[in-house]
Chains A and B, each alone.
Chain A
Amino acid sequence: MAEPLIAVRGLSKSFGGLRATDRVDLDVEDGETHAIIGPNGAGKTTLIGQLAGDLRPDAGTTRFAGRDVTSLDAPARSRLGLARSFQITSIFPDFSALDNVALAVQAHSGHSFHFWRPARAERELREPALAVLGGVGLGARADVLAANLAHGEQRQLEIAMALATRPRLLLLDEPVAGMGLEETQRMVRLLSTLKRRVTIVLVEHDMDAVFTLADRISVMVYGRIIATGSPEEVRGNAEVRRAYLGEGTES
C-alpha cells in the first residue's frame, strides 16, 4: 500500500495543564475524505492547527507527502500543498471576492516584491482566481466586497482561497458551522464535488454532513483518537457510542 498522504505519530500538545492532543496517531490516505468528530473540547481544532503548522507540537512527528514536516511552519506547509480553512470565517473583508482568491494565487506564485505592475491587471493572477471562484459557485459574486457576502458565501470563498493554492490536502475546520439548512446543503454539495480531486480532512459537528462526505471517520475524545473506521464501523463501535454518539440515548 502507498504511503499515507499525511501520517501523524504521537502528536501531543498541552496548554498549561490541559492535554489538548495526547499521543495522536493518524493516517490520511491520498484521495480520501477523512472526518474527525468528537465532543466539544476534544482537541479537534488543536489537531487541525498542528496539522496546518500553526501550533508547534510538544512531541510527535508529522509526515506529509513523504517528507518530515514536523519543524515546518504554516507558510512552508502551505507551499507544500497543505491548505487550511478556519472555524471562524477568515477572509480579507476589505477586498472583493475575486481579490481574495487572487491573493491566494499570488501567495503561491513566487515572491511578491513586485512594485510596479498593478496586481489587479495581472491575468496570471485574475484568470486562475476567476476559474476557482466559478468552481465554488461564486462566479457571479466576483466583484462583491467580501465583507458584504452572506455567511455561507464567505465560507465558500474561504474554500476557494484554499483551493487556489492548489493543495494536495485541504484542512476544513467546521465548514458548515453557523449555516442554515439550505446553505449547509450547498456547502455539502460543493465539498462532494471536491472529493477525490483533493484529499480532505474535516472537523465537523454536523453528523449528516460527516456521514454524507466522509470515507473514514476518526473519533476524538479527551485529546485521543479512540476509533478510526468507515462510517458504518464508527456508527457500530460501542466505545464511540458510549463516549459520544449515544450520549443519553441508550436503547
Chain B
Amino acid sequence: MAISRRAIVLAAGAVLLALVPPVAGLLNQPFYVDLFRRMMIFAIAALSLDLILGYGGMVSFGHAAYLGIGAYAVGIFAFYGVDNGFLQWSVAIAASAAAALVIGVISIRTSGVYFIMITLAFTQMLYYLGISLETYGGDNGMPLKTRSQFAGLVDLRNPSAFYYVVLALLLLFLLLGRRLVDARFGMVIRSARSNEPRARAIGFAPFRYKLAAFVLAIGFAPFRYKLAAFVLAGGACGLAGALLANQTEYLTPDFMHWTRSGEIMFMVILGGMRTLFGPVLGAVVLLGLEDVLSALTEHWQIILGPFLVVVVLFAKRGLFGLVSRDG
C-alpha cells in the first residue's frame, strides 16, 4: 500500500533521468544531455506553478515573469563580470520572490478572470521592461558571458556536471513540494481551493460570497497562506530562470513572453495538476514532442496541437493520472 505505483513510476523516472548522460555518451549523442537538462529546468518551473495553480487554485498566467527575472539576475551580474553562482542564484531567487510578493498582494484579492488578467499584465510589463533595457540587448537580448561559477565546487561548463546539478535540484524541489503540500500549510491552500469550484458552479454572487466566507468561518484567513505559496512558487521559478540562463547561455525578453507562461501552464495541465510529478512529466513530454516533431516537419505544431487537445479532453487528470491511479 505504501509502495504505490506512483512511487515506482517516480523511482523509475529518477533512474532513467540519471542514466541520460552515460547513455548519451555511449551513443555519442551529447545533444540529449542538453535536451533533458532543458526539460528538467522547465520541470522545476512547472512544478512551482503546480503549487499555486494546482494546489492553490490560483490560475497564474504570468509564471514566465519569474523565469525571466531569474535569468536576468544571472545575466546582468555576468554582464558586470560578477560570476559567483551562489550570489547570482540567491539574487535570482530573492528577486523573483519579491516580484511574486508584489504581484501576489495585488492579484490574490481577486479571482477568476481578474486574477488571470492581473498576473498576465504584470508579466507583460516585465516583458516590455526587458525590451526597453538597451544596455542588456533590448529585444535582441544578450549572450551570457560565462556560466555561473561555484568556487571550483562544480563546473557548469561540464555538460554532465551541470546536468546532475539540475537533476539534484529537481529532486530536491519534488521532495520539498511533496512535504509542503501534505503539511498544515498545504492543507490550508488546498482547502481554500476546494471550495472555489463549488462557488463557480453555483455561480451567483451571494452564494459565492458565502462559500468564500466559509473558509473564513472555520477560522482560516487564507490570504496570507496563498500569498506565501505564491512567493515560494515565484522564488522556485526564479531559480529555474537562473538555470535556464546557464542552459541557453543567452537571455532575451522572450523568456517572459506570455506564450512562455502558457507553455509552462500547459506542462502542468498536460502532466496532471495537483500531482507535482505530473508537471515534470508534462515538461518532458511537451519539450520531447517539440523536438521529435520539429525534426519531422516544420509544421510540427499542427500535430502537437491536436495531441494536446486530446489529452486534455480524455485524460482529465493528465498523463500522470494515467500511470498513477492513487491520490
| Residue-wise interface mask of B (192-204) relative to A, using a CB-CB cutoff of 8 A (1 in contact, 0 not) | 0011001000100
Task: Enumerate chain A residues within 8 angstroms of B150, measured Cβ to Cβ.
Answer: none
Asked if B191 and A103 make an inter-chain contact with CB atoms under 8 angstroms apart, the answer reads yes
Interface 1/0 per residue, A82-122 and B, CB below 8 Å: 01101110101111000100111011100011111111101
Among candidates B184, B188, B220, residue contacting A75 with C-beta atoms closer than 8 Å: B220
Contact in complex: A118, B179 (CB < 8 Å):
yes
- In the complex, A220→B216 CA distance in Å? 27
* Nearest CB on A from B170, distance (A): 19
* B220 contact set on A, CB distance < 8 A: 75, 107, 112
**Cβ A92 vs Cβ B191 within 8 A:** yes
CB of A21 closer than 8 Å to a CB of B? no
* B185 contacts the other chain (CB 8 A): yes
Docked CA distance A86–B218 (Å): 11
Set of chain B residues within 8 Å of A104, measured between Cβ atoms: 218-219
A54 is an interface residue with CB less than 8 A from chain B: yes
Query: Quick check: A120 and B182 within 8 Å, CB to CB?
Result: yes
**Do residues B210 and A95 form an inter-chain contact, with CB atoms below 8 A?**
no
Scan B244-270; emit 1 where CB is below 8 A from any A CB, else 0: 000000000000000000000000000
Contacting pair B184 A119 (CB below 8 A)? yes
Contact between chains at A165 and B218 (CB < 8 Å)? yes
> How many B residues have CB within 8 A of the partner chain?
29
Complex Cα distance, B219 from A107, in Å, reads 5
Are A86 and B210 interface neighbours, CB within 8 A?
yes
Q: Let me know if A95 and B219 touch, CB within 8 A.
A: no
How many Å from the CB of A236 to the closest CB on chain B?
35
- Of residues 138 to 180 in A, which have CB atoms within 8 Å of B's CB atoms? 161-162, 164-165
Kindly state whether residue A196 has any CB partner on chain B within 8 Å.
no
Instruction: Name the contact of B184 in the complex, choosing from A83, A106, A162 (C-beta under 8 A).
Output: A106
Of A84, A103, A162, the most chain B CB neighbours within 10 A belong to A103
Consensus secondary structure, chain B interface: helix
CA distance A116 to B176 in the complex (A): 8
Complex CA gap A83/B179 in Å reads 30
B194 near A94 with CB under 8 A, answer yes
Instruction: Specify which of A88, A102, A112, A118 lies most central, judged by the most chain B CB atoms within 10 Å of its CB.
Output: A112
B114 interfacial by beta-carbon distance below 8 Å: no
Residues of A within 8 A of B225 (CB): 112-113
Q: Could you tell me which residues of chain B, from 208 to 224, have a CB within 8 Å of some CB in chain A?
A: 209-211, 213-214, 216-221
Q: Is the CB of B194 within 8 A of A93?
A: yes
**Complex: A73 Cα to B191 Cα, angstroms:** 20
Q: Does B216 lie within 8 Å of A88, measured CB to CB? A: no
Chain A nearest CB, measured from B232 CB (Å): 9
- A52 interface residue (CB < 8 Å to B): yes
Q: Nearest Cβ distance between residue B124 and chain A, in whole angstroms?
A: 32
- What's the Cα separation between A5 and B267 when bound, in Å? 54
Pair B217/A78 contact, Cβ less than 8 Å: yes
Chain A residues lying within 8 Å of B195, measured Cβ to Cβ, are: 90, 92
Contact A119 B216 (CB under 8 A): no
Q: Is A74 an interface residue (CB 8 A)?
A: yes
Name the residue on A nearest B212 (C-beta).
A54
Whether B214 pairs with A86 at a CB distance below 8 angstroms is yes
How close is B194's CB to chain A, nearest CB, in angstroms? Answer: 4
Given contacts A54-B209, A103-B188, A113-B225, 12 further A-B contacts (CB under 8 A): A73-B216, A74-B213, A75-B221, A79-B219, A88-B202, A92-B195, A95-B194, A112-B187, A113-B185, A115-B183, A116-B180, A116-B183
| Subset of 15 A-B contacts with CB under 8 Å | A54-B209, A54-B213, A75-B217, A75-B221, A86-B211, A90-B195, A93-B198, A94-B190, A104-B219, A106-B184, A112-B220, A115-B185, A116-B180, A116-B183, A119-B186
